[in-house]
Amino acid sequence: MPSVLPFLYDIALFIGLPWVIWMALRRTIPLAVVPILLGLILATARVPLKSIGLPSALGDEIGFIGVILLAFTAGLETRHPPVITSKDGRSKTVPMPTLKPLRIVSAAALALALPFAAGALISRFRLLDNVAWLPPHGANWVSASAIGLCIAVSALPVLVGLLRELTPEEQPLGFVALSVALIDDAVLWLGLAAIQLAADVGTNLHWGSTQALAIACLILLGAMGWLAERYEKPVHPLLAWTIAAVFLVGGAWCSARLGIHELIGAFAAGALLPPRWMRRIHIERLGQISLIAMAPLFFGHSGFNVDGRVMGWAAIGAALLLLVVSAVSKMGALLILPPVAGLAPRERWGIGTLLQCKGLMEIVAATVLHKQGLLSEFAYAALVTLAVISTTLTSPLFRLLMRKRTAPHGRVAS
């Protein structure tokens, strides 16, 4: 069979078919969820797609590039508000609310710390005692922290997509959730890097001249970003694209040489770029293209690569348990310390519901940790299932809460 055919099958199955299903469902669930769900169904049914060359090697590579680009644009979004394309096709920059930095950081830290601690504790003393949850590198605090990190994160790319659908009355709460999610996203990548370094598995990292060069390269990229931010003259779009490519490749190479995943470096590269330059080339469109036309291959393969033998009621039950732990702890954190003073309880619940969306980021983190032996097949299946359930429920639950909201809260932007 010609090698191009498996790739064409890949495109049809994990890009074309999810798009058709998404349109048939009238866009009631995020598009990114559909290829993951499709892959899970195929894995559970044990459909023999390997006989026709699926997942294809080329599809794996393009899907991986798509996720790298998503991480890169997510890094950019930590420096300036993301741009959302409205239903009428117009683009608008999300007007970030005026928030007290200390309060928003404190609220975000608590909303991450409680789910992380709860997930790590229940994993270490409960789940990892089960042989099905035991990862290749043993039941230890690193593996428990890996599970805790996965259930604590929020999905920034999917949340940006959800904001597009919010009404004007709902947007202030969405902007607050986005502000918290920006911090979540940065901590996710830092935590993922820390877990990989703490585990010291599968990296074959030996400190030497290559690693010193990688650190020097990161320092150079940071200095270039700092200097570029102070260069006030406009730059040609072609030069801006070239600089973005240099930062992306350089950041990914550096993180790989330091023994952590290329995604970490791609995210860091995006965060180091001067946002004023990147606005000139509308680089957010790169994230949209990768989300629609490239990354679905990665997410579809992630779902399909789940061991179908471990998928069942036990995995779904474990996913629901972790969902409850994550939801209760995150909601509790927002009730204790809301990101904006004076929010009504229903508004705090609404923000917590948006932040409960796991989406793409949990799938990426779980896939990286699973490949490095820090998650068992059963844990990986449960976490992927959790991501699908939480992301699918986010929008309906938020709208249900807001339907009974009598009026928009006037102090969100205060």
- The CATH number assigned to the domain holding 273 equals 1.20.1530.20
Residue 146 placed within a domain: yes
> Residue range 377-392: average pLDDT?
88
List pLDDT tens digits, range 47-62.
888 888 888 989 999 9
> Residue range 64-85: average pLDDT?
73
Residue 410 placed within a domain: no
Residue 187 placed within a domain: yes
Residue 411 placed within a domain: no
Dihedral through CA 133, CA 375, CA 179, CA 88, nearest 10? -100
Share of the chain above pLDDT 70, in %: 83
When pLDDT is cut at 50, 70 and 90, the band that residue 156 belongs to is low
> Residue range 192-212: average pLDDT?
70
Least confident among 76-90, 198-212, 330-344, 387-401: 76-90
* Per-residue pLDDT at 80: 59
Residue 409 placed within a domain: no
Q: Is the pLDDT of residue 259 over 80?
A: no
Domain coverage including residue 170:
4-403
* Per-residue pLDDT at 199: 75
Residue 412 placed within a domain: no
List pLDDT tens digits, range 238-257.
888 888 889 999 998 988 88
Residue 413 placed within a domain: no
Domain count within the chain? 1
* Per-residue pLDDT at 15: 93
Residue 194 placed within a domain: yes
> Residue range 23-47: average pLDDT?
84
* Per-residue pLDDT at 59: 92
